[in-house]
Amino acid sequence: MTDLEKKEDSLNSDHDEARVESQTIDQNHGEALHRVYNIWTATLYQVLMMASWTCNVVLYDTVFTVGGPMMLIYSTAFTKYLAPNNARRVLSYIIGWIVFLAEVATSAGCAMNNAQLVGGLVNLTHPDFAITNWFTWIVYTIFLLLSIPFSMSQKHLPAISVIGGVITLAGFFAWAVAFLAMAPKMSVQFVFTELINSSGYTNVGWVGIMSFYTPVYALYGTDGILHLAEEMKDPATNAPKAMIWAMLASGASSLAGAIVLGFTAGNWEQYITADSPLIAWWVDTLDSVAGGSALIVLVIIALNFLIVVSINTAASRVTWSMAKDNAFPFSNRLVKINKRLQTPLNAIFTTIGFQIVIGLVVFGSQNAFQTIVSLGGVAIQIGYFVPVVLLLLKGRSVLPADRAYNLGRFGYAINTGAVCWAALIITMLCFPLVFPITSSNLLEMNWSIAVFAAAVLLVLVDWIFRARFHYQDEISS
């Protein structure tokens, strides 16, 4: 073969590899998704999804309700392969729905937080304006609807991930430097040794467990990139790498953020009684209504919005993937991909619709944000819990021998620890943040388990009367 022929053959081979790498074809429907994420954009996507340090900040009042800074510092798809044959379809169907619920609840939590912050900023500058539940729900819905254009074009999603990841890390440094420079400093003893408990719970051990509420919130986006695996280059290797690198970056910023929060907490006893503790803290620390409001808008609200965009992207891919198995009514419409935008538009619209409905919880609870956060947490942990339990029951020998990452001899210990941790967190997230709940503070109740149970009941009804006749996971089919 001549050098020219060898070069031509090499170019043809490279072209074929690029073509295979650039698209994922759904065998059932012939739809394609381009692979637009590399290891770096995937990592920044994960950093944005987790935004760990901001979770400490937006839950400022929760930190000082259960534990204080001291406690803050110290503190799926595989189901169908692992479940018994006679329960495989129904379990994979239910877990698919639970993962979907987890995604939409997490996005809804960020949008609700933004709506409440906007209401707080409006009330700060216009004290006579009444912030009603309708106002909060409408602003919440507007944030969700505004996210749609940003989720529609697949080729722009990596750029959004880069922008969001940079804002996450740069925003942390901007906040930390400003607060360390301007806030009165709390003592080392206060930050690292003083237990603060205004929750009403009397058992110190349980207060310590309840203090996990804030750091666990930061872990909600841990698996986000997995839902975009079909849009990644070499996902078997790069997806776990992105998760690990993002976890290291987010963990470092979260720990540092918790320490900064402790030292700059200011007059926390006064702030947590305010209508919006975060706004009161930031405005007072920066000694400027305009400065505090601007920083909240540019960092917290902007990040929340970009997180909503990213989570909705992941949630729409969950919807699209489930629709390929006929999990939903009108699945034939949800699997459609817009050829020009390379995006499952109907799946995006569906996820937004579900979140608008979830937002109605604001009419039944003063703690709508915390309720939605707990709902997402319960769903996420159950989505993790069931596959790992099934793996332990069936044995790790069922895992692919040629997998990119192997836990080896530590596999069973790590899986057992994960199951115990998930069970603990599920239990914790079902409890209200304050105790006791009486007729006078009924609106403080954590309704997440009731909402979750109602959702699972509806899924089971759908399974009995419709889905069991149509749903076909790839193993069963």
Asked if the model's pLDDT at residue 354 lies above 70, the reply is yes
- The pLDDT tens digits for 440-459 are 777 678 878 888 888 899 99
H/E stretch holding 66 reads strand 66-67
Assign a CATH topology to domain 32-468.
Amino acid/polyamine transporter I (1.20.1740)
Tokens of 416: 């057992």
pLDDT at 243: 84
Asked if the model's pLDDT at residue 192 lies above 70, the reply is yes
User: What pLDDT band is residue 67 in, cutting at 50, 70 and 90?
Assistant: low
Three-point CA angle 439, 440, 443, nearest 5°: 85
Q: Are 334 and 346 in contact (CB under 8 A)?
A: yes
- The pLDDT tens digits for 74-123 are 554 455 556 677 778 888 899 889 889 888 888 888 899 999 999 999 99
In this structure, of 99-108, 299-308, 370-379, the range with the lowest mean pLDDT score is 370-379
pLDDT at 144: 97
Higher pLDDT, 80 or 164: 164
Tokens of 254: 């979260």
- pTM over 0.75, yes/no: yes
User: What pLDDT band is residue 437 in, cutting at 50, 70 and 90?
Assistant: confident
- The mean pLDDT of the chain is 83
Q: Which DSSP category does 220 fall into? A: T
Asked if the model's pLDDT at residue 164 lies above 60, the reply is yes
CA 383, CA 293: separation in Å to the nearest integer? 37
Whether the ω angle into residue 127 lies within 30 degrees of 0, i.e. cis, is: no
Q: Which DSSP category does 439 fall into? A: G
Higher pLDDT, 337 or 47: 337
With CA atoms as reference, report the closest residue to 308 among 160, 155, 95.
160
For residues 397-410, average pLDDT? 84
Q: Tell me the β-bridge partners of 33.
A: 24
With CA atoms as reference, report the closest residue to 277 among 434, 117, 94.
117
In this structure, of 59-73, 357-371, 410-424, the range with the lowest mean pLDDT score is 59-73
CA 258, CA 56: separation in Å to the nearest integer? 6
Q: Where are the domains of the chain?
A: 32-468
Tokens of 296: 């909240």
Q: Which DSSP category does 360 fall into? A: G
